[in-house]
């Protein structure tokens, strides 16, 4: 019996001494509270968010709905923070343990606050969508990223201050480290600054069709900190360094007000002056009466005899379509081609093609000349 009593006293002593001087019963209770918080956090966030949604439903704005959606993850974490605060009051591990738990509570509260601010950046910057004349999509995207990075940095610095870690010396050390990194990462910073200039100058936006001679041609999908993703017309993505797009000439086809058609139509040399006038006037009438083509003085419109070429009389057709969409432009261009063909043929002439005539004035003595049979009559085969 003496042995059993001694063993029981040992068990009780271990139970009370526990882990780091904390009673095991308190540890089990703390774990239970934490598990309950994990289980009920979804219910907690559901009821809170539903109440907020009910209040937001009374307004016509969609901003409050976006804010509630953004704040749902931090709200769901609140029961965990409350559970840790209750656990800190239950566990009695001395001054050191109480101090550590107090710091943990402060850190968690700071974490939730800055997490909420981080989540609010996206819905708040979405307000700028209504001011597209001032802020482009790329600008809004960059502001969103910068705001999130800023709140992450501030939150981390605040938590470090809570734990007694000075942020100033760390920043100074990072500054020296940054100088060393900058010397070896000049291209990175060059691309970063170039991206800022691209957005500030509004060279192009997401969805624009651009062309950089010898680099890329396609549709802009996103403007990043270092590279811009351009989707070529073969659907292959190309990641172009921002410095290439900032230093080289960029043609932005999406910013065209009208789209040009510039043709040289060659007709045969047998075409008379009257026929040339008829052709030019017919093409001009078609362009002036078709609603798909822009008219002067907004754009130039020319249908003129341009040159006497080697084997053709050239007529210049220079006009612009109202639509800049590639498919619609091709459709208008095709109708113009049909009209020109009908006009030329109706005038009684035809289109020229490259040809060359050889004139022989004299033949050497003894040379026999054979006359070719007419293409309309068949030659009689020799017997």
What is the DSSP annotation of 330-360?
HHHHHHHHHHHHHHHHHTT--B---------
pLDDT at 331: 95
Percent of the chain with pLDDT over 70: 79
How buried is 360 (Cβ within 10 angstroms: 0-12 exposed, 13-18 middle, 19+ buried)? exposed
Contact call for residues 352 and 311 (beta carbons, < 8 A): yes
Residues 306-319: what's their mean pLDDT?
A: 93
Residues 209-235: what's their mean pLDDT?
A: 89
CATH number for the region 259-346 comes to 3.30.70.100
Q: Domain 203-255 classified CATH 1.10.1470.10?
A: no
Is the pLDDT at 383 greater than 50, yes or no?
A: no
Is the pLDDT at 378 greater than 50, yes or no?
A: no
Distance CA 350, CA 271 (A): 8
Tokens linked to 316: 């210049």
Radius of gyration (C-alpha) of the chain in whole angstroms: 40
Is the pLDDT at 313 greater than 90, yes or no?
A: yes
In the chain, CATH 3.30.70.100 covers 259-346
Nearest to 272 by CA among 347, 341, 345: 347
pLDDT at 354: 77
pLDDT at 339: 96
pLDDT tens across 237-268, in order?
Answer: 999 998 888 888 888 888 888 999 999 999 99
Band (3; pLDDT cuts 50, 70, 90): confident
Is the pLDDT at 379 greater than 80, yes or no?
A: no
* Contacts (Cβ under 8 Å, ≥6 apart) of 101: 84, 87, 88, 91
pLDDT at 157: 87
Q: Please indicate whether residue 327 or residue 23 has the higher confidence score (pLDDT).
A: 327
Distance CA 73, CA 174 (A): 32
Q: By mean pLDDT, which of 89-98, 105-114, 168-177, 222-231 is the weakest?
A: 168-177
What is the overall mean pLDDT for the chain?
81
Q: Please indicate whether residue 16 or residue 334 has the higher confidence score (pLDDT).
A: 334
Is the pLDDT at 299 greater than 90, yes or no?
A: yes
Q: Please indicate whether residue 310 or residue 61 has the higher confidence score (pLDDT).
A: 310
In the chain, CATH 2.30.30.60 covers 203-255
Output the pTM of the full model. 0.49
């Amino acid at each position: 019996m003496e042995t059993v009593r001694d063993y029981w006293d040992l068990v009780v002593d271990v139970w009370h001494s526990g882990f780091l001087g904390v009673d095991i019963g308190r540890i089990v209770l703390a774990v239970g509270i934490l598990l309950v918080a994990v289980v009920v956090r979804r219910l907690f966030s559901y009821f809170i968010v539903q109440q907020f949604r009910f209040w937001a439903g009374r307004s016509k704005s969609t901003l409050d709905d976006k804010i509630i959606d953004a704040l749902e993850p931090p709200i769901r974490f609140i029961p965990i923070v409350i559970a840790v605060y209750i656990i800190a009051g239950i566990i009695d591990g001395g001054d050191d343990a109480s101090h550590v738990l107090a710091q943990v509570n402060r850190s968690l509260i700071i974490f939730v606050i800055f997490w909420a601010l981080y989540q609010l950046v996206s819905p708040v910057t979405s307000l700028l969508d209504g001011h597209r004349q001032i802020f482009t999509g790329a600008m809004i995207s960059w502001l969103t990223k910068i705001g999130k990075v800023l709140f992450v940095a501030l939150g981390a610095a605040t938590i470090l201050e809570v734990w007694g870690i000075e942020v100033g010396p760390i920043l100074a050390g990072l500054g020296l480290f940054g100088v060393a990194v900058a010397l070896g990462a000049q291209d990175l910073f060059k691309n970063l600054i170039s991206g800022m200039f691209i957005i500030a100058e509004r060279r192009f936006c997401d969805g624009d069709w651009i062309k950089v001679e010898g680099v890329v041609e396609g549709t802009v999908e996103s403007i990043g900190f270092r590279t811009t993703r351009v989707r070529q017309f073969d659907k292959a993505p190309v990641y172009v360094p921002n410095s290439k797009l900032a230093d080289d000439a960029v043609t932005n086809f999406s910013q065209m007000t009208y789209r040009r058609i510039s043709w040289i139509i060659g007709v045969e040399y047998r075409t008379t002056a009257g026929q040339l006038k008829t052709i030019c006037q017919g093409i001009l009438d078609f362009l002036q009466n078709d609603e798909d083509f822009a008219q002067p003085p907004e754009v130039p419109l020319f249908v003129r005899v341009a040159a006497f070429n080697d084997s053709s009389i050239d007529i210049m057709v220079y006009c612009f379509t109202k639509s800049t969409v590639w498919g619609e432009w091709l459709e208008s261009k095709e109708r113009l081609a049909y009209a020109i063909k009908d006009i030329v043929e109706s005038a009684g002439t035809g289109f020229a093609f490259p040809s060359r005539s050889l004139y022989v004035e004299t033949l050497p003595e003894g040379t026999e000349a054979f006359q070719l049979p007419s293409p309309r009559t068949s030659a009689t085969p020799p017997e």
